[in-house]
Amino acid sequence: MERRELKRKKRRKRRRWKVLLFVVALIFLIGGVYLYTIYNEVRTTVNQDLHEDVTSIDTKQTKEKVDNKEPLNILLLGVDERENDVGRSDTMIVMTLDPNNDQMQMVSIPRDTYAEIAGDGRKTRINHAYAYGGSDMAVNTVENFLDIELDYYIRVNMEGLSQVVDAVNGITVNNDRAFTSGNFNFKEGEINLDGREALAFVRMRKNDPNGDLGRNERQRQVIQGIIDKGARLDAVNKVGDVMDVLGDNVSTNMQFADMRRLVTNYSSARKNSTTYQMEGENFRANGMYLIDMPEEEIQKTHNMIVNFGSE
């Protein structure tokens, strides 16, 4: 009797273990299918909805730089696109990533900078390049103006900025002066912003004693905030929301494989960030407010970008 009872207990234990192993295997299977679904959703969104090639960037050369973990230059275009209007790039930032020294640099080019539009010949505000020829002409114009090579570009519709911020559950910035914009009051110091607040935060210009310079600095802060928050994002729970928002508001020449390589090789670059704002002399011509950039300032900025990470 004792033997039979012992055998029955052993069989019950084996059944329990089999059930437990089956449940564990099922959890892993479901999790794997879910993660694979997320992976495919992200890849499809990036390659079909976000991707837009530009002829002025040598993608083969860029991929070699990424494989060798060399510093990369990315043009960030913040475009204010309204209905029935192609828009202008009110934000132009050259972001340089140096993974070997864990550092990132963001250089702002004022939108009113007087420059020759590449492929067009006219000299006018540099932000007109996007209106005349889209992302390709904007990339080409910045490359010619600073005599640099850009590896990627990312265009963000500023109308959709609030959705991007909300998709990452808000951001944190350090505000250097208290001000009011729209229906929002922004105190001095560290503040948390939701989507609508972030849009009001970056758009305030007239009440800023530094004008465009102050607005550009706030734009850089919001971009930094999105990058920092996105790097800590709970991807499994939020990836669907983020992809929907990005698909509607972002274009880039990156493919999904490029983004994977950047995450693998360049994510540490955000640990230490510096910013720089180009400055020139104000003047008016043909009824327009413009900024004349001295050759010394252009050369200084060129050197900052091409030598970043080699010092």
Report the percent of the chain where pLDDT is more than 70: 75
pLDDT digits (tens, 9 = 90+) for 4-17: 555 555 555 555 54
Q: Taking residues 9-35, what's their average pLDDT?
A: 46
Predicted TM-score (pTM) above 0.85: no
More confident residue, 96 or 264: 96
Could you tell me which of 285, 275, 281, 273 has the C-alpha nearest to residue 297?
A: 281
d(CA 268, CA 227): 12
Res. 305 pLDDT band, cuts 50 70 90: very high
The dihedral region occupied by 70, where left means phi > 0, alpha psi between -120 and 50, and beta the remainder, is beta
Paired tokens of 227: 């990058």
Could you tell me which of 101, 221, 256, 242 has the C-alpha nearest to residue 168?
A: 242
Could you tell me which of 81, 255, 229, 57 has the C-alpha nearest to residue 156?
A: 81
Q: Is 84 exposed, middle or buried (0-12, 13-18, 19+ CB in 10 A)?
A: exposed
Angle of the 59-67 helix axis to the 256-266 helix axis, nearest 10:
30
Q: Taking residues 82-106, what's their average pLDDT?
A: 79
Average pLDDT in the chain:
79
Structural domains of the chain, ranges and CATH numbers in brackets = 45-307 (3.40.630.190)
pLDDT at position 38 is 40
Q: Which of 29-38, 118-127, 152-161, 213-222 has the lowest mean pLDDT?
A: 29-38
Instruction: Please give the sequence-ordered ranges of beta strands (E in DSSP) within 17-102, or none if there are none.
Output: 72-80, 88-98
**DSSP-H helix ranges across 111-234:** 128-146, 161-167, 195-203, 212-231
Is the CB of residue 105 less than 8 Å from the CB of residue 304?
Answer: yes
